[in-house]
Chains A and B, each alone.
Chain A
Amino acid sequence: MSTAKVDLHRLSRVANWAIPGLAVASLVAGMTVSFWFHFLTVFFLLLTVMNLFYRFVQTRHTILRNFGAIGQLRYVMESLGPELRQYFFSNDTEERPFSRVERAEVYRKAKGIDAAVAFGSQLEFGPKEIKLRHSMYPTPHDELEPFRLTFGEERGIASAYTIDKPIMISAMSFGALSEPAVRSLSRGAKHAGIAMNTGEGGWPKHHLEEGADLIFQMGTAKFGVRDEGGLLDDAKLRKLAALPQMKMIEIKFSQGAKPGKGGLLPKEKITAEIAELRGVPMGEDVVSPPSHPECYDNASTLEFIQRVQEVSGLPTGIKFCVGSLDQTAEFLREMAHSKIFPDYIAIDGGEGGTGAAPKPYLDSFGMPLMPALRGVHTILTDLEIRDRTKLIAAGKLIGAAKWTMALAMGADAIYSARGFMLALGCIQALHCGDNTCPVGITSHDRTLKHGLVISDKAQRVQQYVHGSVHDFEEILCSTGVKSARELCMDNLYVPPQSILAGENRA
């Protein structure tokens, strides 16, 4: 055995004798040398008692039973670990889900800092990375067509909704987010001129408060529009859809962080107000069913989509995370066959975020965004129905370069959830589920929300949008296209060994 190694077992045996030993030694010193030594006597005496408690009284922690006070050091170290790693030891590109390099860029945009970065990229240029292709003949900025996308134009409805920026705020409910977070996002969205999804949190009281254009999300529990049996209440939906701020309805089938499972709001986060807006009891986790009771096969699902379109009178989209492209293809074929089309399909990548999800679902379920998006786009094109609906992409698209890649893969618009949380000042502490978010974005604790000043953060949101849209336009010019609609796989360098490479040349 090497002698240089720290042997915790031996160390603790020494410590377990040394602590009472030092108490006795201090006592002797206090009696013979100076009474001051008795400060140490008392200290070691109390430590001895504590150590005995650890080793012989408590039964919860094996390490403390076996090693005593020395073992406590391990727990202290462990609890400091994530912070130490984040502050000192993680390198700039290795943190998950968002590396420091990625987060720093959002923070810069949100703060309106227009900084160039020097010397070289921190990212991989290995054979696995997808990159954008620039053109030898970039488009002059004044020849770039402004972005325009109209949801519902295929059906020719009067309530068709047009956006003039590619980005929208993806679903995050009040409940998952705190009140000031929701209001900052809503106010920021209004100032930036983008739409915001309400998430599946019931009546969107705080979303409405600040006046942004809203997309109402109907989760599987249908908070806000449910009847007693948990089915859709047409009257409630009609009332909600009649609000002037309400621009679109989104039926959520699944989300990338927990596909195949319903929404989850832990009991720690359920306040009286949240319980009221959702119509749920306090004191227990709120678990939504894994699917809509009205939708049990492709035909009934399309029928339900049509019903929501008719009742709401608004453009109505659906959101899901792809599990199997074959099953999705079945569904899309049925769509082509029945001629019922949602006004958009939002594809959420398996890498999507959440306020709370069981670990296996977070980590191990759902197709990643890019292949799912590419697959759905290809199927729609093959079925010759690509022009009957719009595609929205979501999944870690937190900057203009990523937006461009998703648009080139087939998306028409972009959803981001966590990009906007970062813009609000999220430090990726990963405490969204237990009401202890240190920056108050996902905590309803009064003292933690205190730090989130709405007027300030709304401006960050607005600047994040403006900065990113500016980048986006620059990128479009460099790729040589005249509008976002022209983007296609030719604008991407996809490594030949990638499954996405398919029809693309290296």
Chain B
Amino acid sequence: MTTDPNPSPEAAPAARPLWLSLLLWTCKLGAAGILGYAGYLKLTSNPGDIELFETLGMEPFGRYLIGGLECTAAGLILIRQSAVYGAFLGLGVMCGAIIGHLTVLGPAHIEGAILVAVLCLVILYVRRRDAPFIGNMIDW
């Protein structure tokens, strides 16, 4: 919609109530902050992460790949037009993390991954109409 200089009144999205905007931005900043920091630690070879990825058998490429994906997701989440894509990517990486905790790493620290996944789900829900393919099927 941002490219249309003169949106007609019907086409303009209904204004989002303030509380929802605040919620959305809290989730965006939270998710982007955690994902960005986690990605930064992985990319800068934080010893804890090296150990973790050794346990998973993915050192070092898996660590770089996941770190890169986390940083990308953080960036996308912060940009309005790409927030759904970022949240979707973040959700995917977090699903992987949760699987890792459940199958290999043990349940300690799983709550961080769950938190980010939930934040991403909230972003996806609020911005559901921007989603590719399914956005235009949603009338709620």
Q: Do A and B come from one complex?
A: yes
The residues of A with any CB-CB pair to B shorter than 8 Å are 27, 30-31, 34-36, 38-39, 41-43, 45-46, 50, 53-54, 58, 60-61, 64, 72, 267-268, 270-272, 282-284, 435, 444-447
Asked whether B6 lies within 8 Å of A35 as measured between CB atoms, the reply is: no
> Could you tell me the distance in whole angstroms from the C-beta of A33 to the nearest C-beta in chain B?
10
Give complex CA distance A30, B133 in Å: 29
- In the bound complex, residues from chain B placing their C-beta under 8 Å from that of A445 are 3-5
A36-B62, A58-B138 known; A271 vs B5 contact (CB < 8 Å): yes
Asked whether A38 lies within 8 Å of B99 as measured between CB atoms, the reply is: yes
Task: Name B1-34 residues within 8 Å CB distance of A.
Answer: 3-6, 8-11
B137 close to chain A: CB less than 8 A: yes
B47 close to chain A: CB less than 8 A: no
Instruction: Spot the interface stretch: B37-45, B70-78, B89-97.
Output: B89-97
Pick from A27, A34, A45, A446: contact of B57, CB below 8 A: A34
B68 close to chain A: CB less than 8 A: no
A38-B99, A38-B100 known; A50 vs B8 contact (CB < 8 Å): no
CB pairs A–B below 8 angstroms (23 shown): A31-B103, A34-B57, A35-B57, A35-B58, A35-B62, A39-B96, A42-B92, A42-B93, A42-B96, A43-B92, A46-B91, A54-B134, A60-B139, A72-B133, A267-B10, A268-B8, A268-B11, A270-B6, A270-B8, A435-B4, A444-B5, A445-B3, A445-B5
Give complex CA distance A270, B11 in Å: 13
Interface of A is mostly: helix
As a 0/1 sequence over residues 124 to 139 of chain B, the CB contacts with chain A under 8 angstroms (1 = contact) are 0000000001100111
B104 close to chain A: CB less than 8 A: yes
Residue on B with the closest CB to A53? B134
A271-B6, A446-B3 known; A36 vs B95 contact (CB < 8 Å): no
Asked whether A447 lies within 8 Å of B138 as measured between CB atoms, the reply is: no
B56 close to chain A: CB less than 8 A: yes
> Could you tell me the distance in whole angstroms from the C-beta of B44 to the nearest C-beta in chain A?
22
A30-B103, A34-B57, A42-B95 known; A272 vs B6 contact (CB < 8 Å): yes
- In the bound complex, residues from chain A placing their C-beta under 8 Å from that of B139 are 60
> Could you tell me the distance in whole angstroms from the C-beta of B75 to the nearest C-beta in chain A?
20
Residue on B with the closest CB to A45? B95
Asked whether B99 lies within 8 Å of A27 as measured between CB atoms, the reply is: yes
> Could you tell me the distance in whole angstroms from the C-beta of A404 to the nearest C-beta in chain B?
43
Residue on B with the closest CB to A76? B133
The residues of B with any CB-CB pair to A shorter than 8 Å are 3-6, 8-11, 56-58, 62, 88, 91-93, 95-96, 99-100, 103-104, 133-134, 137-139
- In the bound complex, residues from chain B placing their C-beta under 8 Å from that of A35 are 56-58, 62, 100, 104
- In the bound complex, residues from chain A placing their C-beta under 8 Å from that of B6 are 270-272, 282, 444
Give complex CA distance A38, B69 in Å: 15
Residue on A with the closest CB to B53? A35
Give complex CA distance A99, B116 in Å: 55
A42-B95, A58-B138, A61-B137 known; A446 vs B5 contact (CB < 8 Å): yes
Give complex CA distance A282, B7 in Å: 10
Asked whether A283 lies within 8 Å of B8 as measured between CB atoms, the reply is: yes
> Could you tell me the distance in whole angstroms from the C-beta of B62 to the nearest C-beta in chain A?
7
Give complex CA distance A72, B133 in Å: 8
Residue on B with the closest CB to A273? B6
Give complex CA distance A27, B138 in Å: 31
> Could you tell me the distance in whole angstroms from the C-beta of B41 to the nearest C-beta in chain A?
19
Give complex CA distance A237, B95 in Å: 70
The residue in B91, B133, B138 that gathers the most chain A C-beta atoms within 10 A of its C-beta is B133
- In the bound complex, residues from chain A placing their C-beta under 8 Å from that of B92 are 42-43, 46
> Could you tell me the distance in whole angstroms from the C-beta of B84 to the nearest C-beta in chain A?
13
Asked whether A283 lies within 8 Å of B10 as measured between CB atoms, the reply is: yes
